[in-house]
Amino acid sequence: KAGVTQTPRYLIKTRGQQVTLSCSPISGHRSVSWYQQTPGQGLQFLFEYFSETQRNKGNFPGRFSGRQFSNSRSEMNVSTLELGDSALYLCASSLIPGDNEQFFGPGTRLTVL
């Protein structure tokens, strides 16, 4: 069974640009969560999607958005990039929301110059 895949693995952007990250959950998993990981702040929850609906959202500005498609694949978008957006963005999937075990992807390393 394939694990959670995230593309691209690495990305370099400049301030003011926008970026779209993709996450494909494990087959059969319908819940996808996104996290931002930085050395100073650790992991912070961005949002969670289930059945194409955002169920939960963390404390991030509106520049951060996401969506989920009917095949459970999810994308997150960051507009007007800032230097502070440089981070590892992790996606996690589970069968349904509330599952104790989430399976994480390898992450997308975003660098904003």
Work out whether 12 is an interface residue with another protein (CB under 8 A): no
Q: Which of 31, 68, 74, 93 binds another protein (CB under 8 A)?
A: 31
Q: Give which of 18, 70, 27, 20 is closest to 49, Cα–Cα.
A: 70
Residue 102 lies near another protein (rule: CB under 8 A): yes
The whole-angstrom separation of Cα 110 and Cα 34 is 14
Site string for another protein, 53-92 (x = CB under 8 A): --xx-x-----------------------------x-x-x
Distance of CA 65 to the CA centre of its chain: 9
* Nearer CB in complex with another protein: 56/80: 56
The owner of tokens 């494909």 is: 24
